[in-house]
Amino acid sequence: MKTRLDFVSVQVRDLKVSETFYSHTIGFEVAEQTPPGAVVFKDEQGAFFAVRQPLPGTDLSKDFGLGVGIWFEVVDADALHARVVSAGGTVVSAPQPGPFGRMFVVRDPDGYQLTFHQG
């Protein structure tokens, strides 16, 4: 069976805060069509990533990102790292050699650790 991951969404506490983080701090582009209760981001290759309101019954006191690692391939890890730092983002690890090229890790407002690696 062949499979291909084509969409990822994560729960966030505050859609506006997360939209600002992912669009301003990271530089993701908001998709033209976004359903209620979510913000969808897209890239040039057609991949989609979304943040959405928590599902009913979600414990909002917990760190949503605990145990979750999300990796994004970028053209220039150092340039994106500089953008994140200048926008006040939380860097977990500075640019360094990694298993898939130069990489660094940031934490989003809900505790998700995002790894950006240079392909």
What confidence tens digit (pLDDT) does each residue in 58-68 have?
A: 888 888 888 88
Enumerate domains of the chain plus CATH numbers.
7-55+64-118 (3.10.180.10)
Does 44 have pLDDT greater than 80? Answer: no
Please name every residue paired with 50 in a beta bridge, in sequence order, or none if there are none.
9, 40
What value does the mean pLDDT of the chain take?
A: 91
**In whole angstroms, what is the distance from residue 100 CA to residue 83 CA?**
21
Q: Which of 23-27, 40-44, 90-94, 106-110 has the lowest mean pLDDT?
A: 40-44
Q: Which residues pair with 7 in a beta bridge?
A: 48
Region at 58 (left for phi over 0; alpha for psi -120 to 50; beta for the rest): beta
Question: What local confidence, expressed as pLDDT, does residue 10 receive?
Answer: 94
pTM, entire model: 0.88
